[in-house]
Structure 1
Amino acid sequence: MKWTLKEIASATDGVLYHADDENKEVVKAAFDSRSLQEGSLFVPLVAERNGHEYIESAISNGAAAALWSDPIEQAPKDLPIIQVEDTMKAFQQFAKWYLKKVDPKIIGVTGSNGKTTTKDMVEAVLSAKYKTHKTVGNFNNHIGLPYTILEMPADTEAVVLEMGMSEAGEIHVLSMLAEPDAAVITMIGESHIEFFGSRAGIADAKMEITDGLKPEGVLIYPGEEPLLAERTQKLPSERKRTFGKNEDQDLYALNVQSEMRQTSFSVNQAPGLTITLPMPGEYNVQNALAALLVGLEFDISIEQSAEKLAHFQLTKNRLEWLEGFNGAQLLNDAYNASPSSMKAVLRYFSSIESSGKKIVVLGDVLELGALSEELHKSIAEAIDPKAIDQLILYGTEMGVVYKTVKEDFTLETIRHFSGDKTPMIDYLRKTIQPDDVVLLKSSLGTGILNVVNELKK
């Protein structure tokens, strides 16, 4: 990646100052002054802190130029400066310009749950034919998406962009920036329902991914979701593809088999082929179906996709098996949660076989607003006391689950903790035996990942 100062100024509608050579090249764009490398463009974003305050740190870490929206008189005189009206908008404009310059196939992925897993699967499938790039970690918002694009190697042929949201209008911005050739909606759940009021509101927000979809672009979505079926009625049939569990969908699964560390299935378009995912959970088959449909849109056969899916790399902290401090097996899914994803992983965990105890640790699901009590109570539907030997609940909201299911457990097999996690960690370290399997699931903000780190080898 190399861009000249002249190119950046043109792409951002900026004015170049203090530059001896407008054809001087920069090699990276970063908004964190600490992550710069020699020859980088510094993008000082204005949020809770004014990023312009860190210009000296940026220079000491190798900045070769900077965008600038503060008064030009305040800019350093010995550094090329590109004056813009708004550094955030300029950052996004620059990314859009670079995306058009590289001109890869563009796939946008959103959904209440499963978008990171689906993004990883889609990237794996596309790698069968194209040189790929994808969103890393959780860089999926109005800052992370342009950063992902500007990290894209110049020879990229297909880019997979995860699109997250916490309020209406956010995915519209991301979709208009990316202008995807294909868009995927994984599912409509309850994540961020606090800000949308209902699943219908969430569905409206997720459909914003079609706002920037190219005129010939295709939307891929779960056809058994009534909220999406209703909202896609006006979309021409040649521009939509559906996946699901029944024969009404374009692609549906057959013969699903979920084991402790992998899941296998076949599909209606290749019934004789067994597709294996290196991860547990029947619900991940839906994510794989979406990825298979993306592959078909870009001339990748199901056979080619299956080969890639068998070895794809899942982003860390998404349903990963870890070895515990004493040899017990930990199923870590503590990066994100919604009531629907929590119920799905509980049903999977209940179905596995274990020579030791099956222990479940659940933390609060956040951002459910006024519906929090009702939705937490619904999690109890998936808690099977005959299949779970020990249930540990953490957080204020999980108190609802505790009250709902405590009569189904003995005093020795259910615990509820809140506040300081140390007593819970101590209890778990005393309780977990080498042959046990332990599920840990919660929203990231609950901090159960810290518990995982205390319990793993």
Structure 2
Amino acid sequence: MKMQLAEIAHAVGAVNDFEQWRSISVTSVAFDSRHLQPGGLFIPLTGEQDGHQFIQSAIDHGAAATLWARDLATAPADFPVIQVADSLKALQALAQYYLTKINPRVVAITGSNGKTTTKDMIASILATQFNVTKTHANFNNEIGVPMTVLSMEPNTEMLVVEMGMDRPGQLDFLSKLVAPDIAVITMIGEAHIEFFGTRDKIADAKMEITHGLSEDGIIVYNGDEPLLRDRTANLNLRKRTFGQRETTDLFATNIEATSTSTSFTTNLWPDKSFTIPMIGTYNVNNALAALSVANVYRIRPENAQKALAAVNLTENRAEWVKGTVGEDILSDVYNSNPTAVKQVLAAFSQTPVVGKRYAVLGDMLELGTQADAMHADVASAIDPDKISHIYLVGSHMIALQKRLAQEKPDLPVTHFNAKSLPALTLALQDILTADDQILLKGSHGIHLEQVLAALQESKEK
């Protein structure tokens, strides 16, 4: 990004006179003064803290200018200031302006589970034939999406944007902000059901991603999901479906799994085998979503094969890592919901192993009044013949502990409260061997990443 302040001021509707600064150029934006690059535009946002108080830090880090949603008398003297009514709205307006200026094709992705992995897969495939910018990490909300847009290089041809939500209307806003050419919905689960009440209402909210679709836009969605089939039936949009059933436009055949990868063929390219460096049929669905987008943009299947095999995945999304003693750790500690837990348990239970399999399951958050019942229902996905010991973390996991005691009394189960992660770590270090596998799965708020880090350090450290 490179724009003069005069252009930025016009885009954000500046309310002050800054004639003396109009020709100054900025080359990036940041709302965290610590992450500002020299020549950047500082965006002081107001949340738990008021970003305006960090203006000196921004200047010290090389800011070329700043937005300012306060009285000019409180702004730094002799420094380029663009006064706006609301700095967040100004950030969003600037992103919309810049998006129109660069004019890439936009692919937007949402879903209760798998959206980050699908984003990574789509970006990897499109990058074989186009210049691509994708959402960094989980920058997928009202701040993150504009920041993703403003991170585009001028030669960007494809923008791949992840969109999250935790309330009705959020995807409506984000979709209209970027006006996607393709909207992808990976699946409907229970994530954030605390705020919605039912999966039906979650599906309604996910469908908001179509509200900003361009005139000839396409919706790509999981055709195995009745809630999505019902809601797309009467939509006057082009549609592409993927899934495991032959009734979808793109479905997988001949799925074969190893401990670290999954291979499959498809109905559209029956002579081409695709391999992804991860386990689970649910990840095959994510790959099918990406291949559906690839097909729209006429990506050569040979290129898609190479891209999926070498996809660079965002950290802590069902990735295999090595522990200190040589154990294989399946780390999936960024987020969690009942559907995702059941899926990863099913996949983990099928991986070849010489020693034993252990599973650490942390609380799934934001499930509201249904939380304990949904935690207890995870018992149906746990096979005592495949998993030697279950370790549970958090208050809601007590419900699962009780259910397992009733239905699978021979399965060893140990419960820890969320503040006892060091004790859990020690218990795991005492039993794990180089031949074992262990799954770590929980919502980010449980902080199982601390257990992961400890298992990758030596006991002496």
The equivalent of 1:320 in structure 2 is 319
Report how far residue 164 of structure 1 moved.
0.4
Q: Is the 8 A contact 2:21 2:80 kept in 1?
A: no
Is 1:334–2:328 an aligned residue pair? no
Match of 1:125, SS?
helix
* Corresponding residue pairs, total: 455
Residue identity matched to 2:299: I
Is 1:210–2:204 an aligned residue pair? no
Q: Is the 8 A contact 1:364 1:446 kept in 2?
A: yes
Q: Distance in 1 between matches of 2:63 and 2:211?
A: 36
The equivalent of 1:58 in structure 2 is 58
The equivalent of 2:351 in structure 1 is 352
Match of 1:283, SS?
helix
Residue identity matched to 2:391: I
Report how far residue 304 of structure 1 moved.
2.5
The equivalent of 1:49 in structure 2 is 49
The equivalent of 1:98 in structure 2 is 98
The equivalent of 1:264 in structure 2 is 263
Q: Is the 8 A contact 1:19 1:79 kept in 2?
A: no
The equivalent of 1:111 in structure 2 is 111
Q: Distance in 1 between matches of 2:63 and 2:54?
A: 11
Report how far residue 86 of structure 1 moved.
0.7
The equivalent of 1:172 in structure 2 is 172
Structure 1 residues 270-309: Cα deviation after superposition (integer angstroms, max 9, x where no partner)? 1121111111112101001110010111121333312211
Residue identity matched to 2:366: E
Q: Distance in 2 between matches of 1:441 and 1:323?
A: 16
Q: Distance in 1 between matches of 2:269 and 2:37?
A: 48
Structure 1: gaps (5+ residues): none
Report how far residue 154 of structure 1 moved.
1.0
Residue identity matched to 2:258: E
Match of 1:435, SS?
coil
Q: Is the 8 A contact 2:181 2:216 kept in 1?
A: yes
The equivalent of 2:193 in structure 1 is 193
Report how far residue 85 of structure 1 moved.
1.1
Q: Distance in 2 between matches of 1:281 and 1:245?
A: 13
* RMSD between superposed Cα atoms in Å: 1.2
Residue identity matched to 1:370: T
The equivalent of 2:382 in structure 1 is 383
The equivalent of 2:453 in structure 1 is 453
Range 54-63 or range 108-117, more displaced: 54-63
Q: Is the 8 A contact 1:254 1:266 kept in 2?
A: yes
Match of 2:241, SS?
strand
The equivalent of 2:246 in structure 1 is 247
Q: Distance in 2 between matches of 1:264 and 1:420?
A: 39
Report how far residue 21 of structure 1 moved.
3.8
Q: Distance in 1 between matches of 2:51 and 2:17?
A: 19
Structure 1 residues 348-377: Cα deviation after superposition (integer angstroms, max 9, x where no partner)? 111112111101111000000011011111
The equivalent of 1:437 in structure 2 is 437
Residue identity matched to 1:138: N
Q: Is the 8 A contact 1:19 1:81 kept in 2?
A: no
Match of 2:375, SS?
helix
Residue identity matched to 1:265: F
Range 275-284 or range 3-12, more displaced: 275-284
Structure 1 pair 52/19, CA: closer, same or farther in 2 (3 Å)? Answer: farther
Residue identity matched to 2:310: H
Match of 2:272, SS?
strand
Q: Distance in 1 between matches of 2:238 and 2:202?
A: 22
Report how far residue 82 of structure 1 moved.
0.9
Q: Distance in 2 between matches of 1:440 and 1:199?
A: 26
Q: Distance in 1 between matches of 2:335 and 2:39?
A: 36
With normalisation by structure 1, the TM-score equals 0.97
Q: Distance in 1 between matches of 2:42 and 2:21?
A: 18
The equivalent of 1:184 in structure 2 is 184
Structure 1 residues 392-423: Cα deviation after superposition (integer angstroms, max 9, x where no partner)? 11111111111111252448x32111132121
Structure 2: gaps (5+ residues): none
Q: Distance in 2 between matches of 1:94 and 1:334?
A: 34
Structure 1 residues 49-94: Cα deviation after superposition (integer angstroms, max 9, x where no partner)? 2111111111111111111111122111211111111110000000
The equivalent of 1:27 in structure 2 is 27
Residue identity matched to 1:247: E
With normalisation by structure 2, the TM-score equals 0.97
Structure 1 residues 235-294: Cα deviation after superposition (integer angstroms, max 9, x where no partner)? 23x611101111111101101112110000011011121111111112101001110010
Is 1:296–2:295 an aligned residue pair? yes
Q: Distance in 2 between matches of 1:423 and 1:122?
A: 40
Structure 1 residues 148-167: Cα deviation after superposition (integer angstroms, max 9, x where no partner)? 11111111110100000111
Structure 1 residues 300-344: Cα deviation after superposition (integer angstroms, max 9, x where no partner)? 133331221111111111111111111111110111111000000
The equivalent of 1:233 in structure 2 is 233
Q: Is the 8 A contact 1:67 1:84 kept in 2?
A: yes
Q: What pairs up with 1:88-167 in 2 under 5 angstroms?
A: 88-167=88-167
Q: Is the 8 A contact 1:18 1:77 kept in 2?
A: no
Residue identity matched to 1:91: L
The equivalent of 1:280 in structure 2 is 279
Match of 1:171, SS?
helix
Q: Is the 8 A contact 2:182 2:213 kept in 1?
A: yes
